[in-house]
Amino acid sequence: MTEVNFDGLPGPTHNYSGLARGNLASERHRSLVSNPRQAALQGLAKMKALADRGFAQGVLPPHERPDVAALRSLGFAGSDAQVLAKAARDAPQLLAACSSAAAMWVANAATVSPSADTADGRVHFTPANLASHLHRALEAPVTTRVLRAIFADPQRFMVHDPLPNVLEFTDEGAANHTRFEPAPGEPGVELFVYGRAGCDASLPAPTRFAARQTREAGETIARRHGLAPERTLHAQQRPEAIDAGVFHNDVIAVGSGTVLFCHEGAYAAQDAVLTRLAEMVGPAFTPIVVRERELSLERTVASYLFNSQLLARPEGGMLLVAPAECREDEVVAALLDSIVSERSAIREVLTFDLKQSMQNGGGPACLRLRVALTQSERDAIRARVWLDDTLHAELLAWVRRHYRDRLVPDDLADPALLDEGRRALDELTGLLRLGNVYPFQL
């Protein structure tokens, strides 16, 4: 079984509207000028560098934006151009929500359980409902269609419907899910992290920002996927971390294989969580815990140190794929130097310039969805989503043909932007052999 990273392509409407409450980077960069072309090229550069290192790398497409159908459902009528103009005049925040390119952060696209873990021996996907924010809740239908187009073999894959779009089942996808593998090919241990229990008001709760993920969502996904209870753990985010800007667990922890790299403030009752994981994963379990005295929660959120990828190197040990900001902060850079060595579980650090994504609150881990696949499961995928030299070159040319290099929130009302995006996505579905997955194609 090989862990494949499917990275999301930033879309043509990538902009800084500051829509995500509790995401401090998103709020801080509200209304700045964005560069959609640069965002997409930065994402492709990371994908290509990792593919060149021998890591399995896939691509997921952006969504159609602005979402004119959503605006019509919210009461704006007329032609596409009239709908955009009316929304810009009467409810610019609704236009911004319906124009968000946040689907690029595919760590929120779904929760995935590989075939080694599930009762029926298939790879299971539950697309996230992302019910906590309007601009993200709009993603679920297209995400479901895209996943079903790629993972189309019903003998090997099961793509469920999203959970009910209600408060008790708010689901933010794999950003709050980590799979550990005690030994290659063995059933894994799946950790589901929640911020609140939808039906239990007695749990400690954050006071500054709302917790997004619910325990009920994780428990339901575990049942759907047929996971063994003895290999499944549900842990609560520490409320103080959420109030510090840790809106998803992947802002404060990353795990893979038998390694967990996290801040000491990641989980409520953290010592008990780590003890239980050690029992479940076995003696190879290796927690690398950064203390508050070494790195404050504030600096953790600002640097996105833990919003990194942990990749198993063929030669042994882990590669940490981190944002360039981690090397620009002297404290974080020194911490990395103290952790990484040939005697450590993390042997190497590779940083990338993902500034366009980072300014909206998404680092390397946000941009990828991990899917562990056997070779036969990989062979069953007919879509052209595996990044190689040829596809990379075609995607570079596609971005340069279709993407603007400057966008401000006021541009979202431009009907030409809608037309540009539709032409781009229509071409992209052909390149990736996805068929018709967007509303304008159906």
Q: What is the CA 324 to chain-centroid distance, rounded?
A: 18
Cα 251 to Cα 241: distance, rounded to the nearest angstrom: 10
Bridge partner residues of 200 (DSSP): 197
Backbone φ, ψ for residue 253 (5° rounding): -160, 145
- Which token pair is 262? 């996290």
E strand residue ranges, 15-150:
57-60, 110-113, 123-127
Specify whether 172 is catalytic.
yes
Active site residue 98: no
Q: How many CB atoms lie within 10 A of CB 289?
A: 16
* Candidate list 3, 64, 172, 264, residue with the active-site label: 172
User: Which helix or strand (DSSP H or E) is residue 156 part of?
Assistant: none
DSSP 262: E
Q: Is 248 known to be catalytic?
A: yes
Q: How far is CA 16 from the centre of its chain?
A: 18
Range list of β-strands (E), 67-195: 110-113, 123-127, 157-159, 177-180, 189-194
Which residue out of 190, 366, 392, 402 is catalytically annotated? 366
User: Alpha-carbon distance 52 to 50, whole Å?
Assistant: 5
Give the pairing of strands 2-8 and 57-60: parallel
Strand partners, 235: 193
And the tokens for 209?
């920002």
CA atoms within 13 A on the CB side of 33: 4
Residue type present at position 328: E
Token pair, residue 230, equals: 């003895």
User: Is residue 129 within 8 Å of residue 165, measured between CB atoms?
Assistant: yes
Name the nearest CA neighbour of 81 among 114, 355, 72, 193.
72
Residue with the two structure tokens 């549900």:
234
Distance of alpha carbon 48 from alpha carbon 396, whole angstroms: 11
Amino acid at 367: L
Give every CB contact of residue 255 below 8 A, 6+ residues apart in sequence: 178, 179, 180, 191, 261, 262, 310
Closest CA to 416 of 45, 108, 13: 13
The single residue of 248, 263, 392, 402 carrying the catalytic annotation is 248
The residues assigned a catalytic role are 172, 248, 366
